[in-house]
Every structure is written in structure tokens, then in C-alpha cells.
Amino acid sequence: MIKKILIILGSLLIIIWGTAHLLPTSSVVNGFGNISIDNIRIIQMEWINEGLTLIFIGLLVSLVTIFGNTVTITKKIVYITSAIMLFSMAILSLFTGFKIDFIPFKVCPIIFSVSGVFILQSAFTKK
């Protein structure tokens, strides 16, 4: 039961963080000041893309956990690949956003890693 709770917590954390990326998109773009329309679109696209990616990972893991069979190879594949993606995003954030003096950017690698660990632990533990 604790395994399932950790998976759902990791998924919810990522869904919430992904949603938090979507909400301030226009404020983030405005923070860059006077930039070209192409640069505005690129920032919007990347900001929204990260938010949607996080929400998708969280939803996929949650749905597989809630509606999937108890132990299947598919579940393990979803858990492992989702955790790998979260760890990859954590590394990217560590080398880019972590250097910015804005606390939410510094929190990203931690949130991605914690969620990844919560999700990954279930792929390697017995029922």
C-alpha cells in the first residue's frame, strides 16, 4: 500500500508542478522584455511543452497505477521510463535553471528527482 501511495504522490507532485508551469507562461514571456515575436513564440512553446510533458508523465503513471494489473511488465516499463525522463529533466534543470536566481528554477531538479525516486521505487520492489 505504501508503494502505491508513493507512486501517486510522485505523480501528483509532477502534475501540480506541470500545471504550475502553464499558469504563468505570459508573465514569464513578459519578463524577457522587448524581444522578437519569434523569441516570444519559442519561449511560450518551450514553457508550455515542459508543463504538458510533466502533466503527461504524472497522468500516465497515475492511470497505470490505478487501473493496471497488479504486476505487469508494462507497468514496470512505464515506471522506469518515466523515472528516467524525470531524472533527465532534473539534470537539464540542474545545469540550466539552477543557475538562475529565481527559487522555482532551483526547486525543479529536486521535484523531478523526488518524483522520479517515488515512481522508480515501485518498479524494483515486490508487492
Tens-digit pLDDT profile for residues 79-116: 999 999 999 999 999 998 877 887 878 899 999 999 99
Average pLDDT, the chain: 90
How far apart (Å, rounded) are the C-alpha atoms in residues 109 and 41? 25
Mean pLDDT across the stretch 54-64?
A: 96
Indicate if the alpha-carbon torsion angle 2, 64, 76, 120 is positive or negative: negative
**Do 112 and 90 touch, CB atoms closer than 8 A?**
yes
Q: What's the pLDDT at 127?
A: 60
Is 0.85 surpassed by the pTM of this model? yes
Q: What's the pLDDT at 116?
A: 96
Q: Which amino acid, residue 26?
A: S
3-class DSSP state for residue 68? coil
**What are the distances in angstroms from CA 55 to CA 23, 45, 51, 71, 125?**
13, 15, 6, 24, 25
